[in-house]
Structure 1
């Protein structure tokens, strides 16, 4: 990730976690707070005096209350800006620990050890940290770039099937934002390709003022689905459904052909992901939630959509078109599953 003096390396491969003591030593940290959702024995020794803070992965635990608890634990152990926070878990853990590190003493270095596919391909890299409010997802956050990210692919070997599916939602949307066709590649190649794309985009637009918006492809509806279902629809599944919707909406606006819209559905299916809304999803409520999206201007609706120039932010999308497109989406009974 090339960000001038704040540039950092992202290491991908089996055993990457073993680099942790060297990274900590290079920072000159005196002590470490290890925030982990994994068993403590799976976290490498950071090489300095440390405390282990246990957390639980999951959007329900990604709250300001969790951040406060982390900061109090950091304080009790004496963590200062001369020390380091290490996160080890899924994307919700890297988000929460990253925000706590950003706020504690106005900024403590953080190193991420993402242990789930979704976290490795997206959540741990780029510096966005945030927690949820009852009103919506990721509404309270800060930009805080990590000092390093260690994507140890051996962590993925024990993941249950639903975690693989959740991660593939982020990989599938990469097909439409410049990564090319990643289907059929080995998982470490998919992770690396996704990260290289994200690094190139974030390096050019760290604070989400322009080009970085494309990383939110499929996320506007995805986040709304997470919120309205109380996170029964998981993030990657929501993004997959949102990607299919983005193709249909771009078609409705005359931005792409019917064939390109169908490609959205086909790519999502090829990753074993669903492309249908939950049967009881309310289109009006989803639209209300999508107005709160961080890309939206005022009360307008904005989406990242495919088009003649590729994926780009499209503001001012008419509500009636959004509602009509949602109404035309396929539906499935029960929680959204592949």
Structure 2
């Protein structure tokens, strides 16, 4: 078992990684809690036992289509019905979609109550459950409505990964590949516990330096601008981690188009994503370039005129704004085939 820390002053919290660490849940709850609202989904193999607390479980829908303001309204009305107070706690048990929703619901109830995440997916463990980003989707875009609301603790029980479907594991690997380009670490050379812990260490250090994404934290969005457009354009048939894998290749092609990196560095991206992580590097056929460009203009990371991306370059990853549509489309043409 490894206990890592996200250092945010008086809002610092622990992330516990290892097998069987769900047993540590009670140690992460606020001492004032008398009631716990557990948010989860059908099919998640987690049994929450908290002696002495009044526990009510809320089961939300599957998929990005359930990640909506309507779901938040249903949850907070449920909180009202159970008498949840500021001294109580919300517990999100599931993958990234569950922790995003649980965190946002907690941030809005009584203007913010404690939330603890029990992450059950690889993507959630290495990314979504850490760092306090919460939110839901609109028809116009992904995660456009949300808040920064740090959890009071996170559990990453590796036992859950034993039964995780292969596609869900690949989604986690898509986010893990992102860390490869952020740090250059050979994560696949580590055992699973060390690999997950290292990703958490990387994200915790970045979040501590830039909690609200005013600068450096934006680098964690490498590959995500195109990825989010792909998710919406495919009506979420392409899962988040799969879209991020393709987004990493697109970002490399765009960096090449802008003269920031050479062809060898683009090939290195393809070798890492396809070769080392065994992930897809091209989106499904038949996507419309105009729709994808329009979706990227709605991206919440956009700054000023033009489009904004995190791109590789001589100094490593950087946020680049004002990218012209000509280059955006040229890079897209190479991966749309």
Matched, 1:324 2:330: yes
Aligned to 1:66: 71
Query: Contact conserved, 1:246 with 1:304, CA < 8 A, in 2?
Result: yes
Deviation at 1:173, TM superposition (A): 1.0
| Equivalent position to 1:130, from 131, 135, 142 | 135
The 3-state SS of whatever aligns with 2:249 is helix
| Equivalent position to 1:169, from 166, 174, 190 | 174
- Which whole-Å CA distance do the structure 2 matches of 1:178 and 1:43 have between them? 36
Aligned to 2:3: none
Matched, 1:11 2:30: no
Query: Contact conserved, 2:304 with 2:322, CA < 8 A, in 1?
Result: no
Deviation at 1:227, TM superposition (A): 0.8
| Equivalent position to 1:30, from 34, 41, 59 | 34
Matched, 1:312 2:311: no
Deviation at 1:56, TM superposition (A): 3.0
Matched, 1:149 2:154: yes
Answer with 261-270 or 232-241: which moved more.
Answer: 261-270
Query: Contact conserved, 1:11 with 1:151, CA < 8 A, in 2?
Result: yes
Aligned to 2:237: 232
- Which whole-Å CA distance do the structure 1 matches of 2:241 and 2:279 have between them? 9
Unaligned runs of 5+ in 2: 1-5
Query: Contact conserved, 1:90 with 1:114, CA < 8 A, in 2?
Result: yes
Deviation at 1:41, TM superposition (A): 6.7
| Equivalent position to 1:284, from 284, 290, 293 | 290
* Structure-2 change in CA distance of 1:5 and 1:293 (3 Å): same
Aligned to 2:191: 186
The list of structure 1 runs, each at least 4 consecutive aligned residues, that deviate by more than 4 angstroms after superposition, is 38-41
TM-score, scaled to structure 2: 0.95
- Which whole-Å CA distance do the structure 1 matches of 2:313 and 2:31 have between them? 44
The 3-state SS of whatever aligns with 2:201 is helix
| Equivalent position to 1:52, from 40, 57, 60 | 57
The 3-state SS of whatever aligns with 1:33 is strand
Deviation at 1:179, TM superposition (A): 5.1
Unaligned runs of 5+ in 1: 332-338
TM-score, scaled to structure 1: 0.95
Aligned to 1:271: 277
Deviation at 1:182, TM superposition (A): 1.2
Answer with 26-35 or 159-168: which moved more.
Answer: 26-35
The 3-state SS of whatever aligns with 1:130 is strand
Deviation sequence 1:285-322 (CA, Å, 0-9, x none): 11111111122124420100111111110111111000
RMSD, aligned CA: 1.3
Alignment of 1:74-223 (within 5 A): 74-178=79-183, 180-223=185-228
- Which whole-Å CA distance do the structure 1 matches of 2:225 and 2:314 have between them? 21
- Which whole-Å CA distance do the structure 2 matches of 1:236 and 1:304 have between them? 17
- Which whole-Å CA distance do the structure 2 matches of 1:314 and 1:72 have between them? 42
- Which whole-Å CA distance do the structure 1 matches of 2:26 and 2:304 have between them? 46
Deviation sequence 1:21-78 (CA, Å, 0-9, x none): 1222x43211111111255872331331111111234211100000000101111111
- Which whole-Å CA distance do the structure 1 matches of 2:306 and 2:173 have between them? 30
Query: Contact conserved, 1:169 with 1:237, CA < 8 A, in 2?
Result: yes
Aligned to 1:336: none
Query: Contact conserved, 2:256 with 2:266, CA < 8 A, in 1?
Result: yes
Query: Contact conserved, 2:46 with 2:93, CA < 8 A, in 1?
Result: no
Deviation at 1:273, TM superposition (A): 0.6
